Structure 1
Amino acid sequence: MIPKFPKNLFAKPDHKTHILARDMMIESMNDGIMVLDKEGLVLDANRATLILTGLSGEELIGKPAPAEFRSFIARTPSDPEATRARLEIKWDKPVPRYFDLSISPIHDKNGHLVRRLIVLRDITKQKQIEKALRLYNNRLNILREIDLGILKATSLEEAALNTLHQLQKILACQELTLIEYDKQLAPVLLAELRPETASRRRNLPAYENLEMDLTRGKILVQRNPPTYPGSGGDFGTASPSLIVRAPLRAPSAPRPQYDSPASNLLMGLLTLVFYEITELTDADLDLLGEITHELAATLQNHRLQQQTRRHAVQLQVASEIARDIASTRELNDLISRAVNLVRDRFGYAHAGIYLVDEKGQFAVLQAATGEAGEKMLSHGHKLKIGGSSFVGQAVETGRPQIVNDFEHENGQRKNPYLPATCSELALPLILAEKVIGVLDIHSDRSASFDTDDAVTLQIIADQLAIAVDNARLNQMAALRLEETIRQMGELAVLYAVAQAGAEATTEDELVERVTKVIGETFYPDNFGVLFVDETEKNVVTHPSYRGVHSTNRLGKGITGRVAADGKPRLVADVAMSSGYLRLDQETRSELCVPLKIDEKVIGVINAESKKVNAFSLSDERLLATASELLAVAIQKIRLHTNLQAHARDLALALEKQKELDRLKSQFIQNVSHELRTPLAIIRGYAEILDSGDLGELDIAYKDPVSTIARRAAMLSNLVDDLIAILEAEERNLKMKDFDLGAQVQTMMDEFQISAQKAEITLQTHIAPHLPLFHGDADHMRRVVDNLVGNALKFTPKAGQVSVSLALVDEHFILQIRDTGIGIPEDELQKIFDRFYQVDGSMSRRFGGTGLGLSLVHEIVTAHHGMIGVESKVGEGTTFTIKIPVERPALQSLVIPSLEEVME
């Protein structure tokens, strides 16, 4: 049970109803309320305090205030003249929390400190929103600038250099190097940034512990390295304080494994060298990771473009070769025409061409003349190499074989298909010292061939060897050309997929473009993408699917099994597949590959054909590569979409916060206006009582009435300051032309009395012939009153205060200079904040709310002006206000120079 606030703190004992209502109100507040005694022990706390601090009543009541608050409580004013102190603190809990802390002293009637009242407000969520919004906006802007630099670049080197310049701005590092690694991990410098005075570029460093680092898959940060070759530059011989190495891994590469070759993963290395002490946050390293991912994608695209260009050149060369061999007939036609030409032109009985088989064991008849030749061809006639036949011996020896008389030479047997043969000449077809076949000629006459015949016909044999080789090459070239054309088509398709990934703004647009380009080029029957529905455990066709749309259960059918286990499947004949789900009656074969992001299957790419055995391993490789490119593009679009959604959410939160600030200001304005009249009445009656106009007061009431009058005047001035600040913020000023110089002179005459009483010299310098000032006279009076009043207040006896007003470069320059106590340098940036006071002891001595300088700043800003301050402790302070002059006031005015004004 939480004790109630002591009744004697706020009301008389007979006000029980009032006290009960007050206690219920305090208990229901969202802000924490604590009451401390003058030693800092907690006397009471409401329920909100326990919730905000996470402490129980037993842990808090009667105990010293939490340690996080004590240093701030100790600085709280304790004399009767003090009001309250307000500040923000950070409470370092496991989850840090931020509080708006307000501490007010409570005094007895003798002015002694008896209690302290603490009000806690939780502003943690506001701080988190502001921080998150800054981080996300900064990251988006950085990535946008880097993407723009890459897109605008005309070369890979320029894109790399643009990225290094952006990194140098972001992380303030002194040296940057970007290296590309080829397949053998040989380094190639793409770009570097080093100080101008640095020595010539050092040797490119090897990437240490490559396999281990790739397996870790993270950026390496090395602090205070002992040595670094090539260091120097603007930092002399100093060693770097920090070296960061970020590997560029292929975006489509799988997560590194111990048995994965590094050349398949590592594309480059980004090295950042810091010579000044630097601490990189996790956000910096995350951003660096995203940037290296963008660089890796750019490098991969560049390599793909190079590969495409290289294959395009190869295709052009292949086309030229195809045109050169176009005059060469198909091999069978060529040799058939050749043997008939030899037989007919020379009048031989028979001619034939044998070609050595692939194993080099037989010479196989490929073309022959006459009816006998047709019979031999139909029976697959062949002769063993190295056997008793002339053809076999010609292949083995590589020399012409001649027989002029089968009846009397060497007992050679005649060819049973050619019984009338009397002479035979076998000429080897030699190409590059290798026998590829034999030209075999038969004659029905004896002694038909001599050495000259062999020499002449060998020339024809040599020409036939070239023609045969050309024909073979032509056939091989045609096959290779067909394969090359397909490969080029595949590369063109993959390039189109990569281009779609770079250009598409939505996932649906991306999938639709990829489906169209691949389906139209290679798989017109049935092709498309199916995505996994995690909720329903289904695989669903995308709307762009070119074929029968369906929804399959995970693990069912070919697409369902690929989505379930992530393994590609090539089915040559779906009729032979037991798990095939027949949706299209015309489908005969199917190829399906998984679509993965970070090893997680998000869908499949599926192709079907009306032909059996329509797909090959080449098709599987094509779809696997397309799947990797598509997955990278989908991941990029999803990441971009998520970042945009976060940015929108944070922007809405910020707009809501701005609306709350507006409502707060409106509330303050309404309350201030409502307080103005009753405060004026209270102040009037209190001052009348204090002055004795209604009769002399009893000595026991005189001091309290005097205090009431003084406090009422202070509250009235506070309300006026708040209203003036709000009016200045809203630019709700009563603008008119008036003589600012005359106004300042009149005010200085009034201040002379206060200055003389304080024994301070007050000097005034107002330039003659000043134009009329266009502004709010009452607000400008407040500016002068606050600044001069402060100067007199904080200047000791025998000091000086000077006020000057001049026109310089079409601006009014109002300057207030004093020889007072001065302001510490570390406080100068805070003195214009609302309720801020430089020193608590000063506020107790001189009074004040901390709104004066804030009001001055708001009014000057509302007049499109600027205010500056210069100060040294013990020597004095100078405030300078610069406000532009309206144009009409300058038309007939001769403006003096700065030197004339100073004189």
Structure 2
Amino acid sequence: MRAFLEGAREKPQDDQGRRREDYQQVLVARLESKVRELTHALERNAELIAQNTQLLEQAQRRVRLLKAGSKVGRSIVSILDLDTLLKTTVDVICDEFGFYYAGVFLIDETGEWAVLKAGRGEAGAKMVAAGHKLKVDGHSMIGAATGQRKARIALDVGEEPVHFKNPYLPNTRSEMALPLIAGDEVIGAITVQSTEEAAFSDDDVTALQAMADQLAIAIRNARLHLQNQKLLAQTERRARLLAAAAKVGQSVTSILDLDELLSKTVDIICDAYGFYYAGVFLVDESGEWAVLKAGRGEAGAAMVAEGHKLKVGGLSMIGTAIRQKRARIALDVGEEPVHFKNPHLPHTRSEMALPLIVGSEAIGALTVQSTEEAAFNDDDVTALQAMADQLAVAINNAKLLKELESAHAELVQAKTFEAIATATGEAIHWVGNKAAPVPGSVARVTEDFARFIALASAVVEMLPPEAREHPFAQLLAESGEELARRGYPPQEIQAELGRFPLRRLRKMLTVESVFEDLEIIESSARSILNIKEDLIGPARKRKRTLVALDEMLTETVNSMGIPKEVVRMLFEDGLPPVWADRSQLSRVFINLIKNAMEAMYDSAEKRLFIWAR
């Protein structure tokens, strides 16, 4: 049979042979037909097997895609921090789907640009840092997906008309862009890229779009969470600001002394609000300058001592706030055109100036400064302006009280002078009566003194020559000569007294009468001094200020020209200032030091020790 099929046939010699040949040909034809049918069946089975294999692979790929999408969904839906969510998303997509690159774009506030917020690997980090963005509905896969609200696939990016040739991703051969849609709003898009051509199919679109929809919901949730956190933080900050404003208000409204009020205000504000610096400026009498009256810390004290002031309406936050009567905020002082760059406050990064308004008049301004940029917002302005308004009222009250006290003092002084004027006639008459005995007493004391010196000179002249050399004798002789020069010649007085006996002389010249006359003079002088103090003392104007004792004592000693090696001063640390009239206290110190120096007049080694505690 094999030989027959292969063509090895014998030629028939007779009719029977020919019939046999015809039969064989029929058998061969039937056999060939069966072989063709079998071959065709085998080919059909092979096609079915290939189709089934392809379907199985597609089903397996779809299962893998769905599992990966489900895993991505589980990974991202629980993340509420937006940055963490986006970074996690691109990493999980590439890891689970095996893609070359993935990135998430979000549409900006203008709605015109899709901005890259997270990208896989070093390329993604560089593009995010560079602010990479693509035009919505522009010439890119992302632009087309966001503009048309549907997925776009580029099976060969070299042939895709809307593909953006990205220099950071040179190995991309195929790309898919999936829109992120939350509700009816397109909020962005995802790009997934592969190094293989035709790496994506419709099944990939279905699976990845489901994942993209989950991501869109997660992004919206993260945004809502962020908004809620911001609202909560704003609410808590507003509550703290209002509580601090109430505390400041309670503290400052109870202080009526202006200097104390301003000094404590800046400390209370910085402590309550946590600011770097606070200062209070008040407009001077000319209305042209805002003068710093109190500032926080060493910087504030140094500026107050320097007389720091800013032009009202000038190029400063304070000057502008006072002129415009409204708050000014500099979120970045380096970019603020009217910010005064203060060398005492080098760390200031943001500042707010709040006008102090009473009625319709701006009496000054409050500056608060922070070391952080953008440290203030509208809520801060509202809370702090309410506090500033309270402070303005407190300052005005303190000013009014000070003016009232000054007016009262002037009134008392005027009334005192009026009383003095009314009593002048009586006082002059009284003083005249008290002073009347003085000239007679002085004349008698002078006369008695001259007589005693004249008698002493006569006695000295009677002494032997050696006795006249005694210092006492010489002193008495010199006194006689001085008496003669003053118009009381001792010889004439001696001649006059020589006419009277001793009994008469004892009555004419006694020590007791001299002391009686001196007591009359002293009594009259004391009475006159007392009436002067009674009349003028209450009218004497006193100006009480805070005086630093260590500084005043140092100035007093230096002004008196006392050598440095003579005086030694010791002051206790933290010596508090005292309320006193500076000029009167200075006179007291001068008198005390002068008395001490006079007491050491005869000392060979003078030492003056001043100690204050």
* More helix per residue: 2
In our comparison, the structure showing a higher alpha carbon Rg is: 2
Structure ranking higher on relative contact order (CA contacts 8 Å, 6+ apart): 2
- Please, what TM-score do these two structures have when normalized by structure 1? 0.29
